[in-house]
Amino acid sequence: MKNKTHIKHTQQPMISVIIPVFNGAEYLEETVSSALNSAYKRFEILLIDDGSTDHSTKICKQLSKRYKKVRFYSFSKNKGLGRVLNFALQKAKGKYICRINQDDRMYRFRLKTQVDFLEKNKDVVAVGSYIRQFTPQGATRIITYLEEDEDIKKIWHIVSPFADPSVMYKKSVALKVGGYDQSFWPADDTHLWYRMGMAGKLANIPKPLVEVRWHENAASLKYFRKLALSTLKMHLWADENIQKASLSIKAFWMIQFIAGMTLPPQFNWHVYRILKRVLYISYVSRRLLERYVKAIKRLASVIPHPKRFSLSGA
């Protein structure tokens, strides 16, 4: 295990931005630059190279020497994402952990928006956001997530609460529940959200705070069949340990697993996003209707009622 530490500023960081690196040389500098450009300044960046075989290690070293906010660690052999993230949790100095992947970008206001939210909402242990997905060809789309804890947990047996690169969470709670479990990779992030969700509330900020790159070498495509298997394993674990699922939900899990093992990843993601969108619209519409009904009732309670007149003259 080798490490280089180049922190010269004295103010304790509030946020640790964790960027796991594995053969990510192509976009890594762009990702780090987007974090360094943040309007919020009390943060550090941890680059953890997991046995890359390209020139990622060289780039990480250069970045740690160039920027005082960047700390760099490297493993000579690949350990796996869950182990890398757990190592980063132990090294992080921040109260909050900000996740982003080696090929994504964050907006300048992301850190401030999320840290302000967590400082204001003490019962929330993890907060994500909408994401803007983009392709090398220039196509973009906004992917939405439910905002409120109650709604998130009603459908977390169907869709994940968050887009992983959009999440900021309390380090203390992540450590308390045991961190990441490598045996659930690449669904180890959702496995952590389940356990953190039992320790407090989950939330999403209703606007994009990160840009997620969608390309052929993206891990979500490259390891999709492994993801399908791990997702089923994670759901069965959640059924036993978090919340019992209905028979219809369990049937959905099996259909999702079979589709994931037999159909192309791009098709599976397309169907998954349609499902997410339908669920999002359904829950948001219900919330709006509830608020509308409450507003009507409040209005009715303050409108004077007409006096009753007696036809007898009494």
The string of DSSP letters for 54-121 reads: SSHHHHHHHHHHH-TTEEEEEESS---HHHHHHHHHHH--SSEEEE--TT-EE-TTHHHHHHHHHHH-
Q: What is the pLDDT of residue 10?
A: 55
Both tokens of 266, joined, read: 């791009």
Both tokens of 248, joined, read: 């219809």
Residue whose C-alpha is closest to residue 197's, from 258, 248, 146: 146
Q: Which element (helix H / strand E) includes 205?
A: strand 201-213
pLDDT of 8 higher than 60? no
Average pLDDT over residues 176-199: 97
Both tokens of 90, joined, read: 């132990």
Provide the CATH topology of domain 2-222. Spore Coat Polysaccharide Biosynthesis Protein SpsA; Chain A (3.90.550)
pLDDT of 9 higher than 50? no
Residue 300 banded pLDDT, cuts 50, 70, 90? confident
Residue 311 banded pLDDT, cuts 50, 70, 90? low
Average pLDDT over residues 128-147: 95
The residue that leads in pLDDT, 33 or 217, is 33
pLDDT of 284 higher than 90? no
pLDDT of 72 higher than 50? yes
| Domain locations along the chain | 2-222
pLDDT of 308 higher than 90? no
CA diameter of the chain = 98
Q: What is the pLDDT of residue 5?
A: 46
DSSP 10: -
pLDDT of 214 higher than 70? yes
